[in-house]
């Protein structure tokens, strides 16, 4: 029996997925682009994609379009750790690429938290199995960052470099839309959903020593909290309204 056009397109896309041309979590070309590539209507392309979704090979989400199906990396919030350690626990190979390394005047919020005028600001792109996974900006007081090099922060986490015994951190996570710049680096559409996380890490004496911001594509990560005890409320632990 002759295969229909949507089945032929599904076959070709299935081959591209199997070859690794399109890696896990990667965005597929838009339906319009695929229509042009395969000289088919968008209805036909969408039907082919739906076949692949039923097979668990691709998925779609509002604001992203279609992407190669992948299990999101689950990050536990019950302990202080690095992105790299979280990825390693999931069997994922991680890399870090430093995009910017410089001493700058501390932004107002960072200045208030760290109680210093000048900070080392490091911006980096974290990759998981070769694909962009997070954009991270870290602000470190000049006193702790003065002896650090770009190679140091590309090789090791700040936790291992600043020579301060750490006591814990406060982490706030909210939904946001990707800026044009962030979207380009993360390989996602502008204004698509991201999770934006601010972490304030303190010394064992309770003094903030690092401030960091992490931006994650929403389809690639989940944050998990262990709630061992039942309570009368069914609201998520730590929930608060944003002013």
- Tell the CATH topology of 5-68: Arc Repressor Mutant, subunit A (1.10.10)
Q: Which two three-digit tokens encode residue 51?
A: 């076949």
pLDDT tens-digit series, residues 83-118 = 677 767 667 778 889 999 999 999 999 999 999 999
Length of the chain: 243
pLDDT tens-digit series, residues 13-63 = 988 888 877 766 677 888 888 999 999 998 999 999 888 888 888 888 776
- Tell the CATH topology of 73-224: Chorismate lyase (3.40.1410)
What is the domain partition of the chain in residue ranges?
A: 5-68, 73-224
Query: How far is 95 from 190, CA to CA, in rounded Å?
Result: 24
Nearest Cα to Cα of residue 163 among 151, 146, 180: 146
Residue 73 CA from chain centroid, whole number = 9
Q: Does position 197 have pLDDT exceeding 70, yes or no?
A: yes
- Three-state secondary-structure class, residue 158: helix
């Amino acid at each position: 029996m002759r295969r229909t056009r949507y089945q032929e397109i599904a076959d070709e896309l299935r081959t591209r997925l199997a070859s690794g041309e399109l890696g896990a979590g990667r965005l597929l070309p838009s339906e319009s682009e695929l229509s042009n590539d395969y000289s088919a209507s968008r209805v036909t392309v969408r039907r082919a994609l739906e076949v692949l979704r039923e097979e668990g090979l691709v998925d779609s989400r509002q604001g992203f379009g279609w992407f190669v199906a992948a299990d999101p990396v689950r990050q536990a919030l019950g302990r202080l750790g690095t992105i790299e350690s979280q990825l390693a626990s999931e069997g994922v190979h991680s890399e870090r690429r430093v995009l910017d390394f410089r001493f700058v005047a501390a932004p107002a919020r960072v200045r208030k938290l760290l109680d210093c005028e000048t900070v080392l600001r490091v911006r980096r792109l974290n990759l998981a199995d070769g694909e962009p996974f997070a954009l991270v900006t870290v602000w470190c007081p000049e006193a702790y960052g003065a002896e650090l090099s770009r190679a140091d922060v590309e090789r090791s986490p700040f936790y291992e470099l600043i020579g301060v015994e750490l006591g814990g951190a406060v982490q706030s996570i909210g939904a946001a839309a990707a800026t044009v710049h962030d979207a380009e680096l993360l390989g996602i559409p502008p204004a698509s959903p991201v999770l934006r996380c601010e972490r304030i890490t303190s010394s064992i004496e309770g003094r903030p020593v690092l401030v960091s911001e992490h931006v994650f594509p929403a389809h690639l990560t989940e944050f998990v909290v262990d709630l061992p005890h039942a309570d009368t409320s069914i609201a998520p632990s730590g929930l608060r309204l944003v002013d």
